[in-house]
């Protein structure tokens, strides 16, 4: 069963209705987990890019991996102004990323 289509048609609602991650979480990661503006982040299952945006705003390079075309396309529009944003068609089992 292809579950990547479960969110087809919901990207706009997801963007409007889903809150961002708590700023305290992002602060914790930067203050306690050695993240900084030079960090490279892989956001697996990135959806519309809510978490990706928060890392991009801190200067990180973000590879947003998302299997759903509708969600990924929305993140590409929402995050187009960030030079360090890379949209990737993939899922948790096959991110296509090589580091």
> Does residue 3 form part of some domain?
no
Mean residue pLDDT across the chain = 90
**CATH number, domain containing residue 16:** 3.40.50.150
Provide the pairing of β-strand 40-44 with 85-89: unpaired
Tally the residues of the chain: 99
Provide the sign of the torsion angle of the four alpha carbons 40, 84, 62, 18, taken in this order: positive
Q: Is residue 23 part of a domain?
A: yes
Q: What span, in angstroms and rounded, lies between the C-alpha atoms of 86 and 63?
A: 5
Q: What percent of the chain has pLDDT over 90?
A: 78
Q: Residues 90-99: pLDDT tens digits? A: 999 999 998 7
- Whole-structure pTM value: 0.88
Q: What is the pLDDT of residues 32-44, one digit of tens each?
A: 999 999 999 999 9
Work out how many domains the chain is built from and give that number.
1
- Mean pLDDT within 46-71: 96
61 phi/psi in degrees, rounded to 5: -90, 130
On the question of pLDDT at 14 being above 80, the answer is no
Would you say residue 70 lies in a domain? yes
**Domain that includes residue 25, residue range:** 8-89
Three-state helix/strand/coil letters over 4-35: HHHHCCCHHHHHHHCCCCCHHHHHHHHHHCCC
């Amino acid at each position: 069963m292809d579950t990547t289509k479960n969110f087809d048609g919901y990207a706009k609602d997801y963007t409007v209705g889903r809150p961002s991650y708590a700023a305290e979480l992002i602060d914790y990661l930067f203050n306690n987990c050695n993240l900084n503006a030079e960090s490279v982040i892989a956001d697996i299952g990135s959806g519309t890019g809510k978490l990706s945006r928060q890392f991009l705003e801190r200067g990180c390079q973000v590879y947003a991996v998302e299997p759903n075309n509708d969600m990924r396309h929305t993140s590409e529009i929402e995050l187009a102004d960030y030079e360090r944003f890379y949209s990737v068609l993939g899922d948790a089992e096959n991110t296509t990323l090589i580091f």
